[in-house]
Amino acid sequence: MQVQFKETGEVPQGPILVAGSGPLALAYAAQLAAAGYPPVALLERGTPFVTALVQPGAAFNSLRRWQPLAEALGYARQLWRARVPYHTGCRVTAIEAQAQGLRVSTVNQRGQTRLYEVAHLALHDGLEVNQTGLPQQSVAGVPVVWAGDCREVLGAEAALLDGRRAAQQVAAALGQACPEAGLEAPLQAARRLQAALRTLYQPPTGTGISPDLSPETVVCRCEGLRAAGFAALQGAGSAHEIRVVGRFAMGACQGRFCARNTQALAAQAGVVFEPQDLHGRVPRWPLRPVSVAALAAYADDQ
């Protein structure tokens, strides 16, 4: 929804609940509020304010750069002006479809539950490096260089700098050295900031998949697989069988979004499923499948 909003300025109609973990959820909620569509609430799984008191070093590293600090204060101001409730240590436990939207169940660290009836739920559980299917070295003599979010998630500004660093590597590989000084220092500063934010927004432990998960819960979005499909694999003896037979982590994202949940479900069944092993064993370029019908719809001159 944030991508849709940033690219088109359009906001889904009806009440929106923003939930998850990390500063991106805060940014999206503030952007909605600034556009005149304040969410009914912002639910943060982590406890950044408590963590800042316990680990002041992380708080210091997140505040030492004025630009991110000013941005965060701007988001807080937007939420305050729009009277958007901001609850930390709160997580979503269930999402049920209703005739008029969604019924979202939540619980906080004190065990207090609350229901929200909304039209839309924006979920965000942090950012992860997108290396799915990418080769780690040159292929058939063609240089392969990682940059931006497929190497490190450091923000838009740092991604541009990392792109320039990658361009230097490519130029050097082609025998056209063009060194540019001053790239590493801002990248290091961005790394410190992101490390501090990860610490501040780290969700509490013990908030994994519930053993009484609803059979209708969607686990793998690419393949449209639900928890009930995993229950049918209780006799699976290996992670390979879970993937090949059950199709979990076999979709277009190759487990980027569902591998952690699949790992938790596999652990409940006594099967070791390591997400970090997926990409090395079954490499796949990050391409979206295109049907033959879609290709046939193009005119000959296209």
CB 195 within 8 A of CB 68: no
pLDDT at 278: 64
Assess if residue 281 is contained within a domain. Answer: yes
For the chain, the average pLDDT equals 82
pLDDT at 300: 61
Residue 6 shares a structural domain with residue 121: yes
Residue 3 backbone phi and psi in degrees, to 5: -60, -45
Assess if residue 136 is contained within a domain. Answer: no
Assess if residue 185 is contained within a domain. Answer: yes
User: Is 66 exposed, middle or buried, given 0-12, 13-18 or 19+ CB atoms closer than 10 A?
Assistant: exposed
pLDDT at 172: 83
Residue 61 shares a structural domain with residue 118: yes
Considering only CA atoms, which of 231, 227, 223, 233 is closest in space to residue 254?
223
Residue 78 shares a structural domain with residue 152: no
Residue 53 shares a structural domain with residue 109: yes
Q: What is the CATH number of the domain that holds 77?
A: 3.50.50.60
| Domain's final residue, options 200, 216, 234 | 200
Assess if residue 278 is contained within a domain. Answer: yes
| Domain's final residue, options 200, 219, 242 | 200
State the CB neighbour count (10 A cutoff) for residue 201.
Answer: 24
CB contact set of 287 (below 8 Å; sequence gap of 6+): 133, 252
Q: How far apart are CA 3 and CA 232, in angstroms?
A: 36
Q: How distant, in Å, are the alpha carbons of 87, 165, 189, 194, 243 from that of 158?
A: 30, 10, 9, 11, 35
Element (H, E) at 164: helix 156-173
pLDDT at 52: 85
What pTM does this model have? 0.77
Structural domain boundaries enclosing 23 = 2-125
Residue 215 shares a structural domain with residue 105: no
Q: How distant, in Å, are the alpha carbons of 123, 170, 253 from that of 167?
A: 35, 5, 27
Assess if residue 135 is contained within a domain. Answer: no
| Domain's final residue, options 74, 92, 125 | 125
Residue 214 shares a structural domain with residue 104: no
Q: What single-letter amino acid sits at 21?
A: S
pLDDT in tens, the chain (302 residues): 777 777 788 888 899 999 998 888 999 999 999 999 999 999 999 998 888 888 888 777 777 777 777 888 899 999 999 999 999 999 888 888 888 899 999 999 899 999 999 999 999 877 777 776 677 667 677 778 888 888 888 888 889 999 998 888 888 888 887 777 788 888 998 888 888 888 888 887 654 566 667 788 888 888 888 888 887 776 666 777 888 888 888 887 777 778 888 888 888 878 888 776 665 555 555 556 677 887 777 766 55
pLDDT at 280: 52
Assess if residue 238 is contained within a domain. Answer: yes
Assess if residue 130 is contained within a domain. Answer: no
Residue 196 shares a structural domain with residue 215: no
Assess if residue 104 is contained within a domain. Answer: yes
Split into its structural domains, the chain has a count of 3
Residue 39 shares a structural domain with residue 108: yes
Residue 6 shares a structural domain with residue 120: yes
Element (H, E) at 2: helix 2-8
Structure confidence by residue, pLDDT tens digits, 46-82? 998 888 888 888 777 777 777 777 888 899 999 999 9
Residue 191 shares a structural domain with residue 223: no
Residue 70 shares a structural domain with residue 95: yes
Residue 229 shares a structural domain with residue 293: yes
